[in-house]
Amino acid sequence: MIKLKRAGALTAAGALAAGALVFGTAGPAQAVGCGKDTITLTGGEVIYNWSCSSGKADIKIKDTKADGKCAWAHVWSDPSGASKYDTWKKACGSGTGNRMNTPSLSTLHIELFVSRGHPI
């Protein structure tokens, strides 16, 4: 499954049942397996490790630029699934990081934004 988002946002969407993680941008999409990967935008980074066996993810968001903006991660699961999950995390200040762990999820979506205030 591929999610396309407006400029400035990058999405990772995965289907645990299929055992694959697909992430897309406005350009060509690349398929990656479960495990560790990185999503980057100028000024922000998300590093995630999603376990295919447990469905749990360890996610770290990092502000990578001294520009007065924050890196924001929107993390959610399929809203129609049994494991509904929807949360936001931010990191503000160059080099600052914030970490989160998800419960067991059947799908995982991550959007990365860089903005001065909440992006939505």
Q: What is the CATH number of the domain that holds 83?
A: 2.60.40
* 41 occurs within a structural domain: yes
Rounded to whole angstroms, the Cα distance separating 72 from 10 reads 11
Q: For the chain, what is the mean pLDDT? A: 75
Taking the model in full, what pTM does it have?
0.73
* 23 occurs within a structural domain: no
Please choose, from the candidates 110, 113, 114, 120, the residue with its C-alpha nearest in 3D space to the C-alpha of residue 3: 110
**pLDDT greater than 90 at residue 116:** yes
At 78, is the pLDDT very low, low, confident or very high (cuts 50, 70, 90)? Answer: confident
Domain that holds residue 74: 35-115
Please choose, from the candidates 90, 119, 109, 84, the residue with its C-alpha nearest in 3D space to the C-alpha of residue 8: 119
* 5 occurs within a structural domain: no
Q: How far is CA 72 from the centre of its chain?
A: 9
Rounded to whole angstroms, the Cα distance separating 18 from 102 reads 19
pLDDT, tens digit (0-9, with 9 covering 90-100), for 12-32: 544 333 332 322 222 222 333
Our count of domains for the chain comes to 1
Backbone angles phi, psi at 104, to 5 degrees: -65, 125
* 8 occurs within a structural domain: no
pLDDT, tens digit (0-9, with 9 covering 90-100), for 54-67: 989 999 999 999 99
Give the pLDDT of residue 5: 35
* 97 occurs within a structural domain: yes
* 100 occurs within a structural domain: yes
DSSP secondary structure letters along 15-75: EGGGTEEEEE-SS--EEEESEEEEEEETTEEEEEEE-TTT--EEEEEEE-S-SS-EEEEEE
- Most confidently modeled range among 18-22, 28-32, 77-81, 92-96: 92-96
